[in-house]
Structure 1
Amino acid sequence: MYELSGVTKRYTRGKDTVNALDGIDLTIPDGDRLVIQGPTGGGKSTLLQMLGALDRPTAGRISLDGTDLASLSETRLTRVRSENIGFVFQSFNLIPTLTAQENVETALVPLGVKSKERRERAAEALASVGLGERLAHLPSEMSGGQQQRVAIARALVKRPKVLLADEPTGNLDESMRDEIMDVLERMWQELGLTYIMVTHDSSIARKAPRLATIRKGRITVKENAQA
């Protein structure tokens, strides 16, 4: 699925140069479930942005299914994101004036899916995350956990190959955290996704089959015996 070779990302802050990523080599097989953990500022979110084709490396190569993402035009990168990659973030990023079903449908608009099919697929995606009875509800009429379920349905409705989650439980209490993790793991198993998650939560990291730790832009990966 992913092959990273010598991936470096540098930012300039005044007179200083910061290596957010410092020569990362990483292989993520198709169907993998990888959790990325590390201190704030260590490079976790930067790495996720690279995997999501949201940013380009300063140096090195990021290959997705054999295609070097850094070599693609912005138009083609947008297409890769739209077709192949689903995103779930800490903030739910729902449109407050749209219903749950309409929010999920927004992911299909760039793909040119016709309105009838959009409605059907959105309803199906919401049912798969346990919100089949909430199609017409606005975000303000749902709990935080329910809103994050809508965000998950929106990420999955386009049937991506990859699901990237950046602190998806960060705004939720412990009971809602466990509920959302159950949904994400069930979707990974049922859909055969490659699932990559950034988290600060050690209780989540302990359950991951593979755990990557990133500090000062360098990464180590180990099989997780406790998973």
Structure 2
Amino acid sequence: MYELRSVTKRYTRGKDTVTALDGVDLTIADGDRLVIQGPTGGGKSTLLQMLGGLDRPTSGEVVLDGTDMARLSEGKLTAVRSATIGFVFQSFNLIPTLTAQENVETALVPLGAKAKERRERAAEALRSVGLGERLGHLPSEMSGGQQQRVAIARALVKQPKVLLADEPTGNLDESMRDEIMEVLERMWKELGLTFIMVTHDSAIAKKAPRLATIRKGRITVKENAGA
């Protein structure tokens, strides 16, 4: 479970101070699916970075399973990210010179998995997202939707507890968007993940069980009756 308590994040830009998050309180239970929406610059991605331990708050607590990530050393925080949290981004972030299987294997290297185990788990993860025939393909040999499936497989191959997705359909057309969302929702259900997603797409937001709206660093959360 996540507990965010009075989380504030301020950035200094030249002589100005920008408040990206302003006293955010948020509880996310194990197995939740939460979609975060809001205007550009409202704090969506900053909030996701806090949840993923990619950035630290200026003040407040970001507690995951009883541990305040804001107080962990960099080494321990990296270990939490490597073992517990999977990330999917809009830009895929695949290594262009590696095959699909090799890209997925990179997520297992920090966990100390042996080469044979990495290969087997990566192949299985790619099969689970419908890419069993694409193990040896480079990113340039795949469509945008296929590349995002590789990125999802890479996020899930380490069997994380949490999946964080930042505009994962932002670079895809409508049909590809629907395919990727089907994969993400299926993985959420099958694996019992806590799934938190930032999106500007209202069609996706309407289907989420919980919807968080963030504006000027302040957040409101509601149960989504239409989901």
State how far apart, in whole Å, the 2-side matches of 1:101 and 1:38 are: 35
- Name the % identity: 88
State how far apart, in whole Å, the 2-side matches of 1:130 and 1:196 are: 22
Two-structure CA RMSD over aligned residues (Å): 0.5
SS in 2 for 1:222: strand
Q: Which amino acid aligns with 2:216?
A: K
State how far apart, in whole Å, the 2-side matches of 1:135 and 1:13 are: 44
Residue 179 of structure 1 corresponds to 179
Structure 1 residues without counterparts, runs of 5 or longer: none
Residue 197 of structure 1 corresponds to 197
Residue 5 of structure 1 corresponds to 5
Structure 2 residues without counterparts, runs of 5 or longer: none
State how far apart, in whole Å, the 2-side matches of 1:106 and 1:167 are: 22
State how far apart, in whole Å, the 1-side matches of 2:55 and 2:31 are: 23
Residue 73 of structure 1 corresponds to 73
CA-CA distance at 1:220 after TM superposition: 0.1
State how far apart, in whole Å, the 2-side matches of 1:177 and 1:70 are: 34
State how far apart, in whole Å, the 2-side matches of 1:71 and 1:15 are: 28
Instruction: Please list the CA deviations of residues 110-129 of structure 1 after superposition, one character each: whole Å capped at 9, or x if unmatched.
Output: 11000000000000000000
State how far apart, in whole Å, the 2-side matches of 1:128 and 1:10 are: 40
CA-CA distance at 1:15 after TM superposition: 2.2
Instruction: Please list the CA deviations of residues 80-119 of structure 1 after superposition, one character each: whole Å capped at 9, or x if unmatched.
Output: 0000000000001111111100000000001100000000
Deviating 4+ runs (over 6 angstroms): none
CA-CA distance at 1:167 after TM superposition: 0.1
SS in 2 for 1:184: helix
Residue 157 of structure 1 corresponds to 157
State how far apart, in whole Å, the 2-side matches of 1:88 and 1:153 are: 9
Structure 1 residues 134-145: aligned runs within 5 Å: 134-145=134-145
Structure 1 residues 32-71: aligned runs within 5 Å: 32-71=32-71
Residue 123 of structure 1 corresponds to 123
User: With structure 1 as the length reference, what TM-score do the two structures score?
Assistant: 0.99
Q: How many residues align?
A: 227
SS in 2 for 1:169: coil
Residue 111 of structure 1 corresponds to 111
SS in 2 for 1:164: strand
SS in 2 for 1:106: helix
CA-CA distance at 1:14 after TM superposition: 2.1
State how far apart, in whole Å, the 2-side matches of 1:213 and 1:97 are: 38
User: With structure 2 as the length reference, what TM-score do the two structures score?
Assistant: 0.99
